[in-house]
Amino acid sequence: MRDPIRPASPGPGDADAIVVGSGPNGLAAAVTLAAAGLRVQVIEGAAVPGGGCRTEELTLPGFRHDVCSAAHPLALASPFFRRFGPAARGVAFAHPEVVYAHPLDGGRAAIVTRSVAETAARLGGDADAYRRLMQPLADGGNAVADAVLSSMRRPPRYSGALAAYARLGLRSAAAVARRFHTEEARGLFAGVAAHAMLPLTEPPTAGVALLLGSLAHTAGWPVVTGGSARLTDAMIRAIVAGGGQVETGQWVSSLAALPPAPATLLDVAPRAFFAMAGERLPARYRDALARFRYGPGICKVDFALADPVPWRNEAARQAGTLHLGGGFEEIAAAGAAVARGEHPDSPYVLVVQAGVADPSRAPRGRHALWAYCHVPSGSTVDMTARIEAQIERFAPGFTDLVLARRTRTAAQEEEMNPNYAGGDIACGMQTVRQVLARPAVRWNPYRTPLRGVYLCSSATPPGPGVHGRCGELAALTALRDVFGVREPPDLAIAARLPRGGLAGPVGGDVQPVPAGTAVAVAPGPVSGLVEIDLAAGR
């Protein structure tokens, strides 16, 4: 193994590992390989790196929109990012006062805060049912996230929280929501379950609701201060510090076009891998890739607003994320319509108002708003009017505040990033089968039948979201198979405070440290991040 920190970048043909695609999983793979001392070359097709983790001025100057991911419960809970230590690399997560809100007609809303008790107390007759459902999961800290954000190959370590999760997680949201009776609690559960992009009568929609719902009370659902791209930048800095490089603007259509390297990791959709490898793949594996099912698409609208959204419900104004679409039945009907290939008149709309926690996203007094709804796969229908009508329903006067808007249909979503087949931002349906065996049934899902070639996109376990685990777990497999490295590398090694500041353990004493200080990132009780006050170093 070479010296872990080398200034020289790999030239053509002398990389130890090639990573195709610079989404969070491609970069997590590259970070892991670079931390093990390998020379890594990342090849990205788009002009800008980051895949689903980018921030751009999509509407007007000074409005910084998260192009894809905006809310980061999975990043904060992810074992990969806990080891990587974003805080030690200058990335700050900003938590909104209200984690997520579910507005209902008449100015009512269900409101979720970090506290289970506080959230339950607002749910009236369903207070006890909410507490009984969420408290055991929240009490488990990282246990549920650690189990779900795994390769799904080994039974996780037993804990009470995990047992509670396993009991209900493989069921449908419709089944689990029967324990609630108020429109608020039922709507709240539907709103968070619908992230699964499946009809709410399908398993494991309850599992998605329980994971994301409990993360509200453990890690939180923060945004990244300055935009999601800061997380991408931190990973790229770590790769470059390890002697690797990230090249953009080079779409890869065939494995034969890649520079030779002992290991190749592909942050691409299964059908792209199919096209790249062609006849080199055995027929059985090719058939499995061809059978892999993609889910519905999304239509996204980014808004530049003159003022904050005037949600009729006061508490909803403080929410980072909002789920719109009314009560359980209405949201279920919207999901069922999308599954039938229809565009609902009253769609389920996900909204992120990053500005409530991070005012840097827009010029003073202005706001950048992020919204999308689910649509049938490959849809070219512009849902802007229906998304605006849904926001207007719960925030009268909203449309008058719009200074500019930018829409991406599902078809355009795929044009921007081929991993989002038909606009499916999950890179593959999250049915029970495809959660457990992604993209094909194999003992190690990252290994492909081609020697030295690995899949590392969110089409592998643990699936979609910005958590980097698909990339990390694929890289650990490649390290073992190709380079004989059995010990996971220390990802914290290259964590340095860029400007100095205050550093210390979570909940412990902090002390001033100068710029360039290397920081050890020890796993903490929940987020596992070292707390750093960079403001002190400016």
Q: Which residues bind ligand FAD (CB under 6 A)?
A: 20-26, 43-46, 51-53, 68-72, 74, 251-252, 267-268, 272, 298, 300, 372, 417-420, 425, 457-458, 464-466, 470
**Lookup: tokens for 9:** 């970048």
Q: Which residues contact 453 (CB under 8 A, 6 or more apart)?
A: 255, 263, 264, 266, 277
> Which CB sits closer to ligand FAD, 253 or 520?
253
Residue nearest to ligand FAD (CB): 23
Cα gap 441→432, rounded to integer Å: 13
> Which CB sits closer to ligand FAD, 21 or 537?
21
Beta carbon of residue 22, minimum distance to ligand FAD (angstroms, whole number): 5
Q: Cα 423–424–425 angle (5° rounding)?
A: 100
> Which CB sits closer to ligand FAD, 80 or 328?
80
Beta carbon of residue 266, minimum distance to ligand FAD (angstroms, whole number): 8
User: Strand 349-352 and strand 531-533: pairing?
Assistant: unpaired
> Which CB sits closer to ligand FAD, 159 or 460?
460
Beta carbon of residue 196, minimum distance to ligand FAD (angstroms, whole number): 13
Measured CA to CA in angstroms, residue 238 lies from 49, 499, 523 at distances of 14, 16, 19
> Which CB sits closer to ligand FAD, 26 or 537?
26
CA 359 to chain centre: 22
Beta carbon of residue 102, minimum distance to ligand FAD (angstroms, whole number): 17
> Which CB sits closer to ligand FAD, 52 or 355?
52
Beta carbon of residue 497, minimum distance to ligand FAD (angstroms, whole number): 26
Beta carbon of residue 504, minimum distance to ligand FAD (angstroms, whole number): 28
Using the CB atoms, write b or e for 507-533: b if 16+ within 10 Å: eeeeeebeeebebebeebebbbbbbbe
Beta carbon of residue 237, minimum distance to ligand FAD (angstroms, whole number): 17
Beta carbon of residue 171, minimum distance to ligand FAD (angstroms, whole number): 23
Cβ-contact 80, 521 below 8 angstroms: no
> Which CB sits closer to ligand FAD, 43 or 492?
43
> Which CB sits closer to ligand FAD, 10 or 23?
23
The DSSP-derived string for 465-531 is SS--HHHHHHHHHHHHHHH---SPP-GGGG-B-SS-EEEE-TTS--EEE-TT-B------SSS-PPE
Helix %, strand %, coil % of the chain (to 5) = 40, 15, 45
Cα gap 330→307, rounded to integer Å: 29
> Which CB sits closer to ligand FAD, 269 or 304?
269
**Lookup: tokens for 374:** 């689910």
- SS3 readout for 428-469: CCCCHHHHHCCCCCCCCCCECCCCCEEECCCCCCCCCCCCCH
> Which CB sits closer to ligand FAD, 253 or 360?
253
Beta carbon of residue 231, minimum distance to ligand FAD (angstroms, whole number): 10
- CA neighbor of 116 nearest in space, from 42, 210, 27, 196: 210
**Beta-carbon-side half-sphere exposure of residue 206 (alpha carbons within 13 Å):** 20
Cα gap 130→347, rounded to integer Å: 26
Q: Which residues contact 33 (CB under 8 A, 6 or more apart)?
A: 16, 17, 19, 40, 244, 263, 265, 475, 478, 479
> Which CB sits closer to ligand FAD, 267 or 358?
267
Cα gap 214→212, rounded to integer Å: 6
Beta carbon of residue 65, minimum distance to ligand FAD (angstroms, whole number): 10
Cβ-contact 288, 362 below 8 angstroms: no
> Which CB sits closer to ligand FAD, 19 or 497?
19
Beta carbon of residue 105, minimum distance to ligand FAD (angstroms, whole number): 26
Alpha helices in 249-366 (DSSP H): 270-277, 283-291, 328-339
Beta carbon of residue 223, minimum distance to ligand FAD (angstroms, whole number): 9
